[in-house]
A and B are shown apart, each in its own frame.
Chain A
Amino acid sequence: MNKSETRDKAILKTVKFEVLRYNPAGNESPHLENYSVPVTKGMTVLDGLNWIKEHLDSTLSWRSSCRMGICGSCGMFINGLPRLACNNQIVHLHSDRVVIKPLPNYDIIRDLVPDLEGLFEKHRSVKPHLIRKDTAEQDSPTGEFFQSEQELLNYIQFAYCIKCGLCMAACPTVATSEEYIGPQPLTAGWRYLSDTRDEGAEQRQDVLYSSHGVYRCHFAGACSQVCPKGVDPALAIQMAKRDAFMKGFGRGKKRSGSSVIPPIQDWTPRGDIPDAPAKTVPQKSE
């Protein structure tokens, strides 16, 4: 072990983790349980939970996978805000107390595991996929659907969503309404509604602009504040509202399925591109 490694392993401080425990099979009511966790450099909240599971209490349950802010599994209510456990270092919380509860506005399955099924159901309801009238072309494409760079920039931010559900936990309307579609699904809906390649507006807007759709958003802004990927659901919802409002004046943007561009036929490769190296693994057909 060299010098820098020992320094990284040094314990910076000991932090009190207060974790909500709930066991549906047990007799205990939900309660906060305390654990002392030694914090080393770069240690995330998720690392802290893993440390507890390893050293103190193997029954502690939560959901996590990639531990690098990609999969969106480890959403938790950490020190008063919905956050990803893997995305937040303990020292950056600037507190000797780390209070961890499951995400609000979802049913709790056990300990820190929320039931996200409702979110996924609503996500499905906005049909989050490209809808084209010519399904034959979509299934066996003869070319690509045209889209300019600016048209892509109009929605690409909303396509970065990882479905962690933090926005739904932060939203005040979701806090009281079971029917409200919610920031994540509405953003997904707008992402496809504003996609110039899409032709499914009629199917989608009945959900988006229903009495439990975009108009139940009042720009409290909490969803955008907590989003770990900078997706900005509040912006998407306001853009959806603006679009409908402008349609009221007959000035909504018309977006219909963009044309199919066939692949370029007559092209010659640049001469200075080297050949691919020989294959090292035999191919099936060979």
Chain B
Amino acid sequence: MQQRLKNRLGLWGWLGGGRYGLDRYAYSLHRLTGLGILAYFIMHIFVTGQRVGGPENWDSTMAAFGSPLFKVGEFLVVLAFAFHAINGIRLILVELGWLIGKPGVPSFPYSYSTLRHKPVFIIFMVFAAALMIIGGVDFYFVMK
């Protein structure tokens, strides 16, 4: 048999939205933010576990995480949370068959799920952006 040339896109398929639609970019971001939140969550379990050592131990742990680098990291987690949560609500609804329309007889120009879903998608993304802005205001102007 002659040699076949492998042409699977690999991880670029996960991250490279290319000329595909908005949903494809939301998919990539959902993956990335999910991984980020999981990493933070595991760290968070151990950090909050320092409560076992009593209030003094807790205060010294909190002081150790007070540096600007951790602040920025924490803020990224807030942004990731805002996106993952709002996009997650959308995905739950979509994956259970809501907000994407019903099957019918295709006639040109074709109507399809992601096209019908687009206005809903934009509304959800506006919510996510609003949540990010609230989070940002809270993080940098209100919290100590």
Contacts and interface: CB of A to CB of B under 8 A. Distances in A.
Interface string A98-115: 000011111111000011
B84 interface: no
Interface string B96-136: 11001101111110111111010000000000000000000
Interface stretch (B3-11, B36-44, B48-56, B64-72): B3-11
Nearest to B118: A221
A245 B94 CA distance: 13
Contacts of B28: 172
Given A153-B105, A222-B24, A105 B9 contact: yes
B125 to A, nearest CB: 14
B59 interface: no
Interface in A162-194: 170-176, 178
Contacts of B112: 224-225, 227, 230, 232, 234-235
B73 interface: no
Interface in A218-251: 218-222, 224-227, 229-232, 234-236, 238-239, 241-242, 245
A269 interface: no
Contact of B7 (A107, A156, A157, A173): A107
Contacts of A79: 19
B96 A235 contact: no
Nearest to A214: B95
A238 B97 contact: yes
A24 interface: yes
A224 B24 CA distance: 11
A106 B114 contact: no
Contacts of A239: 97, 103
Contacts of A234: 100, 112-114
A229 B117 CA distance: 19
A230 B3 contact: no
Nearest to A219: B94
Contacts of A232: 103, 106, 110, 112-113
Interface in B8-63: 8-14, 18-21, 23-24, 27-28, 30-31
For chain A, the bracket of interface size reads: 35 or more
A176 B113 contact: no
A221 B117 CA distance: 10
A22 interface: yes
A15 interface: no
The interface centre, meaning the residue of B12, B13, B19, B117 with most chain A CB atoms within 10 A of its CB, is: B13
Contact of A174 (B5, B13, B91): B13
Contacts of B9: 104-105, 175-176
B96 A241 contact: yes
A235 B113 contact: yes
A239 B30 CA distance: 21
Contact of A176 (B13, B23, B100, B114): B13
Nearest to A171: B13
B112 to A, nearest CB: 4
6 contacts: A24-B3, A107-B6, A172-B13, A221-B20, A225-B112, A232-B112
Interface of B: 2-14, 18-21, 23-24, 27-28, 30-31, 91, 94-97, 100-101, 103-108, 110-115, 117
Given A172-B28, A221-B117, A234-B112, 11 more contacts: A25-B2, A175-B8, A219-B23, A220-B24, A225-B114, A232-B110, A232-B113, A234-B114, A238-B95, A239-B97, A241-B95
